[in-house]
Amino acid sequence: MTLTGANLTGATGVNVARVGGGGGGGGVTVTNIAVDSTGTHLTATFTIDPATAIGDRNVSVTSARGNSGPVTFHVFAPPAPTLASISPTSATRGSPSFTVAFTGTNLAGGAVNVVRPGGGGQNFVTVSNVTVNQAGNGLTATFAIAGGAALGPRNVSVTTGGGTTATKTFTVN
């Protein structure tokens, strides 16, 4: 984020506070503060926790001269994720660890869900090593299917701070 003003040279911090109170920066952390040579532009990295409440934050700059007046920064809800495909779509009962690739949108911070339709006892499909690409449109996860897993379909989805995708079918053969 870039903040524009005057006399920013020597800035020692960027303060973020929830409008109306409610505790500090409200899930926004500021790092990598740098001021340009003219002292009129400050850049900083704002990291927003996925569980952060939606709403306005007051942002101000601290320097040897004191604190600047606040400007408003709005935290929006994360966009809803979508799931276009998974590959492979099936594997054999007792399969050791293998990679499943997911394509979609807004998958950053995603957790993979594997559920047997209608409940029906234990799932016996373990998911680990979930990794999302930088663009947020691709995800990989390691699946392992126990030897005692029931044959048949599983509903697979991805959950992020923006919600849960529609399901795709993964079948245990």
Average pLDDT of the segment spanning 125-150: 95
Residue 24: the pLDDT is 65
User: Quick check: 62 and 15 in contact, CB under 8 A?
Assistant: yes
pTM: 0.71
β-bridge pairing 90-91 and 168-172? parallel
Residues listed for the chain: 173
pLDDT at residue 25 tops 70: no
Check residues 91 and 122 and name the one with the higher pLDDT: 91
Q: Which of 146, 166, 163 is nearest to 155 (CA)?
A: 166
Whole-number pLDDT of residue 1:
85
> Tell me, what amino acid is at 34?
A
Question: What is the domain partition of the chain in residue ranges?
Answer: 2-75, 82-172
Could you read off the pLDDT of 42-86 as tens digits, one per residue? Answer: 999 998 887 788 889 999 999 888 899 999 989 888 899 999 999
- Residue 60's alpha-carbon distances to 10, 11, 22, 144, in angstroms, are 14, 10, 17, 49
The reported pLDDT for the residue numbered 116 is 87
Q: What is the pLDDT of residue 114?
A: 93
In order of 26, 27, 84, 100, the CA distances from 11 in angstroms are 22, 22, 46, 47
Q: How far apart are CA 105 and CA 107, in angstroms?
A: 6
Higher pLDDT, 116 or 89: 89
Give Cβ neighbours of residue 147 (< 8 Å, ≥ 6 apart): 93, 94
Q: Which CATH superfamily is domain 82-172 in?
A: Immunoglobulins (2.60.40.10)
